[in-house]
Homo-oligomer: A and B are copies of this chain.
Amino acid sequence: MTEQNFNAAYAMQEIGGGVTAAKGFVAAGIHAGIKNNPAKRDLALLASEVPAVCGGVFTQNKFAAAPVNWCRKVNAQGKARAIVVNSGNANACTGQTGDEHAAQMAQAVGGALNIPTNEVLVCSTGVIGVEMPIKTVLDGVSAIAGKLSYEGGKDAAEAIMTTDTCLKQCAVTYEYQGKLITVGGMAKGSGMIHPNMATMLCFITTDLAIEQSALQKAVAEAAGATFNMVTVDGDTSTNDTMLVLANGVAANEPVAANNEGYAAFVAALTFVAARLAKLMAYDGEGATKLLECVVSGAATLKDARLAAKAVVGSSLVKSAFYGEDANWGRIICAAGYSGAEFDTQAVNLRLESVAGGIDLMQNGAGLKFNEELAARILQEREIKILLSLGNGAYTATSWGCDLSHEYVNINADYRS
């Protein structure tokens, strides 16, 4: 279903807010003292007022952080009532002590909210290899529990930020079985060259009633089309996590993977996740431009995704856009080594921005183009790369940013 079709069928609307937009969710965000700067929030808590099911996808990194291992266990049981998140310390490569700290965080939240410890999800983001200041964190949990509110989504979204320069929230409503369903979320993450250490965290809530197995399937589908398209396969940090809670407060008939409500929910979830993913790319470390690559005409979805990711993942493409240079050879070269199957003689390439559009390649051969118009298009902040492979019906979109001097500045001495 295209976005337009979905909007028409389900009256989908974007609304303000984030994780507390859906009914029955409360949140808060405070400065607990994990970050040195007292003006920065560093602890977030999100809870459902009623029992909820959860779904999640996690980093594939062998060095998964302690909280990721904790979340995997909770998610395997499928039920969760709360998510606690700290920024400033990743609790990664911290050995058995790290596992104990993650468990202590869950216990503290469980005690404060009077819910089972094994229904508390725990996430951390920040420096690797440094022991958690656990007393500070546990004191923070005591303090934050009393601050949960329907208006706390924004504070929570602030508290999960690290090098992020902008808040990342999105929420939508749609109609299903005469009920108003809300899906809203928040995310943190930047560092879009290879986001291997710039942890991506995403938390989405919904008041939809949905079976846990269907929710888990929907989360995996949405992540594949969105967050995985701002990264290169496997390039995941020790802490990357996407979690979705569904509490059923909307009181619809529970959605299953095989009934009509499933596709509608996947569409809404993907919309929210895509917006958050795009905001992450837009907020890439040192980024001056948002690049969106749409690969069409691929023989398979896999081919479309491979090619789209290779283009926004190429440091040479990124550098060229930073320099506002219409170096189309780098774009098609990246598609050429991506592993996607296609006939080079059928490839078309076009760039677009708010300033206009320009065709650079047709049927595999470079076109003469107006350098002045190209320069004008490339001066814009958001640029679309439209690559048609002429080999089938599949399309995929990826997001990235340019590679700037500022990226090198940020990452050359991250620890200091």
Contact = CB atoms under 8 A, between A and B. Distances in A.
B336 A61 contact: yes
A325 B129 contact: no
B403 A408 contact: yes
12 contacts: A62-B335, A62-B340, A63-B344, A93-B366, A129-B366, A193-B316, A194-B314, A197-B329, A320-B414, A323-B414, A325-B415, A405-B408
Contacts of A322: 408, 412
Contacts of A197: 316, 329-330, 333
A360 to B, nearest CB: 9
A315 B193 contact: yes
A404 B414 contact: no
Interface size class on chain A is 35 or more
A407 interface: yes
A339 B416 CA distance: 30
Main secondary structure of the interface of A (DSSP, over half): loop
Contacts of A336: 61-63, 238
Interface in A345-373: 361, 364-366
A116 interface: no
A415 B327 contact: yes
A60 interface: yes
A94 B367 CA distance: 11
A173 B361 CA distance: 49
A408 B323 CA distance: 9
Contacts of A196: 314, 316, 330, 333-334, 337
A414 B325 contact: yes
A194 B325 contact: no
Interface string A265-278: 00000000000000
A414 B337 contact: no
Interface in A103-153: 127-129
